[in-house]
C-alpha cells in the first residue's frame, strides 16, 4: 500500500548516502532553528514534536496493524494526568518520577483496554475504542480527585524539574529535551517497524488468517502492538502536560483521539515519518488559520482535510515522495 515499510526489506544491496540528505536537512532545521525563535514559537515546535510522537506511536496500531483506534487519547491523557496528579496532590514536578509513572499508567490502561477492544476489528474496533476513551473522559470529569478545585482538569503545571540544584528548565531547554526524547522514540519505532515483529504487524493487516496459518499468534501480536502504542502515547502525554501547563478531560476524549488519526492520514499512514509530517501540517495550519481569521479557521482546516483526501489520498508524504521520484530525484525512494 505504502512505500517504505515494504521496501525496507531490500537485502544486502548498498545504501546510497544521498538518500538521507533530506533527513539531515530536516534534522538540522529542528536543531538549529529554535535558537532564533521566540519562546512562544519554541512552544509551538515543542507541541509539534509531542504530537509527532503521539501520532507516530498511534500509527503502529493504525497504519501498520490497520486497526482504526479512535481512543488513543485515553493513553495520551493518562500519561498527562499522572504528571498532573503528582503536581496537584504531591506537589512534585520531578521528571524522574513523572515520566515512569506516566508511561506506567498509560501502559496499564492500554493493557486493560486492549483486552476489550481486540475482541473486534474494523469499524467496530473504532467504535469500541471510542467508547473506552469516552468512559475515561467521563471518569476524569466526575472524579473530584482528578480535578483542581473549582474547575474541570488540573491547571498550574510547569516545566519539569530534574532535582539537580541550579538546573531550571525553560522553553528552550524543554524543547531540546522533547526533541531528544522524540528522536529516540522514533528511532525505537523505526527498529520495531523493521523487525520481524513489525513486519508481522503488516502481515496481519494484510491477511490475518494466513498469518495464523503460518504460525503467528496474531492476537498476541496485536495486543503487544496495542500496548506499545499506548506506551508511546503515554510518553507524548507526559511531555505534553509539562509543556501545556494544564490537562483537562478533553485530553482523554474523542477530540484529542482524532488528532493523531488526522495527522497519520494526512502525512501518510503505514509509513514511519508520515505522521510526523502530518503533525507539522496540522499544527501549523491550525495555528496560522486561527491567527489569520479567529472566526473562520475551521473552514481552512476542514478545507485542508478535504483537499488532502481528494488530491493526495495516500498522504502528503507519499505524494511528495512520488512527485520527487517522477522528477528524477533519488530522495525518498528507498528501493534497492
- Shortest reach from residue 253's CB to other proteins, in Å: 9
SS3 string, 90-120, reads HCCCEHHHHHHHHHHHHHHHHHHHHHHHCCC
Hey, how many other C-beta atoms are within 10 angstroms of the C-beta on 282? 22
Reference 239, options 111, 63, 47; nearest CA is 47
- Shortest reach from residue 328's CB to other proteins, in Å: 17
Residue in the structure block whose three cell numbers are 503487544: 224
Task: Name which of 108 and 120 has its Cβ closer to other proteins.
Answer: 120
Task: Name which of 47 and 53 has its Cβ closer to other proteins.
Answer: 47
For residue 145, the 8-state DSSP code is G
Task: Name which of 77 and 98 has its Cβ closer to other proteins.
Answer: 77
- Shortest reach from residue 66's CB to other proteins, in Å: 9
Task: Name which of 159 and 162 has its Cβ closer to other proteins.
Answer: 159
Phi-psi group of 269: left, alpha or beta (phi > 0 → left; psi -120 to 50 → alpha; rest → beta): beta
Task: Name which of 97 and 287 has its Cβ closer to other proteins.
Answer: 287
- Shortest reach from residue 203's CB to other proteins, in Å: 5
- Shortest reach from residue 38's CB to other proteins, in Å: 6
Task: Name which of 8 and 96 has its Cβ closer to other proteins.
Answer: 8
Task: Name which of 109 and 202 has its Cβ closer to other proteins.
Answer: 202
Task: Name which of 29 and 180 has its Cβ closer to other proteins.
Answer: 29
255-280 b/e (C-beta count within 10 Å ≥ 16 → b) = ebbebbbbbbbbbbbbbbbbbbbbbb
Q: Are 185 and 57 in contact (CB under 8 A)?
A: yes
Q: Is 161 helix (H, G, I), strand (E, B) or coil?
A: strand
- Shortest reach from residue 286's CB to other proteins, in Å: 9
- Shortest reach from residue 98's CB to other proteins, in Å: 18
Query: Does the CA dihedral 123-127-128-132 come out positive or negative?
Result: positive
- Shortest reach from residue 206's CB to other proteins, in Å: 4
Dist. CA 275–CA 165, nearest whole Å: 38
Helix (H) or strand (E) holding 310: helix 297-311
- Shortest reach from residue 166's CB to other proteins, in Å: 20
Dist. CA 32–CA 152, nearest whole Å: 38
Q: Are 65 and 222 in contact (CB under 8 A)?
A: yes
Which residues are paired to 94 by β-bridges? 161
Task: Name which of 97 and 300 has its Cβ closer to other proteins.
Answer: 300
Q: Are 288 and 276 in contact (CB under 8 A)?
A: no
Amino acid at each position: 500500500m505504502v512505500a517504505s515499510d515494504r521496501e525496507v526489506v531490500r537485502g544486502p544491496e548498498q545504501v546510497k548516502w544521498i538518500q538521507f540528505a533530506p533527513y539531515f536537512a530536516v534534522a538540522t532545521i529542528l536543531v538549529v532553528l529554535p535558537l532564533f525563535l521566540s519562546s512562544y514559537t519554541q512552544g509551538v515546535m515543542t507541541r509539534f514534536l509531542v504530537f509527532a510522537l503521539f501520532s507516530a506511536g498511534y500509527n503502529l496500531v493504525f497504519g501498520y496493524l490497520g486497526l482504526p483506534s479512535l481512543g488513543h487519547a485515553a493513553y495520551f491523557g493518562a500519561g498527562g494526568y499522572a504528571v498532573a496528579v503528582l503536581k496537584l496532590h504531591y506537589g512534585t514536578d520531578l521528571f524522574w518520577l513523572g515520566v515512569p509513572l506516566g508511561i506506567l499508567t498509560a501502559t496499564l490502561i492500554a493493557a486493560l483496554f486492549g483486552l476489550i477492544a481486540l475482541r473486534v476489528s474494523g469499524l467496530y474496533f473504532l467504535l469500541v475504542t471510542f467508547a473506552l476513551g469516552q468512559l475515561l473522559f467521563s471518569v476524569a470529569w466526575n472524579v473530584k480527585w482528578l480535578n483542581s478545585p473549582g474547575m474541570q482538569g488540573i491547571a498550574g503545571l510547569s516545566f519539569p524539574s530534574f532535582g539537580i540544584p541550579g538546573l531550571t528548565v525553560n522553553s528552550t531547554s524543554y524543547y531540546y529535551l522533547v526533541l531528544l526524547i522524540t528522536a529516540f522514540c522514533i528511532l525505537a519505532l523505526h527498529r520495531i517497524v523493521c523487525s520481524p515483529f513489525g513486519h508481522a504487524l503488516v502481515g496481519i493487516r494484510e491477511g490475518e488468517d494466513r498469518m495464523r496459518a503460518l504460525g503467528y499468534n496474531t492476537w498476541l501480536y496485536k495486543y503487544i502492538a496495542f500496548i506499545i502504542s499506548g506506551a508511546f502515547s503515554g510518553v507524548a502525554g507526559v511531555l505534553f502536560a509539562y509543556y501545556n501547563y494544564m490537562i483537562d478531560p478533553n485530553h482523554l476524549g474523542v477530540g484529542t483521539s482524532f488528532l493523531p488519526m488526522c495527522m497519520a492520514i494526512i502525512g501518510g499512514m503505514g509509513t514511519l515519518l508520515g505522521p510526523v509530517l502530518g503533525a507539522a501540517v496540522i499544527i501549523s495550519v491550525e495555528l496560522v488559520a486561527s491567527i489569520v481569521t479567529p472566526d473562520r479557521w475551521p473552514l481552512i482546516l476542514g478545507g485542508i482535510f478535504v483537499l488532502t483526501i481528494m488530491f493526495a489520498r495516500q498522504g502528503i508524504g507519499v505524494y511528495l515522495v512520488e512527485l520527487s521520484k517522477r522528477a528524477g530525484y533519488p530522495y525518498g525512494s528507498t528501493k534497492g
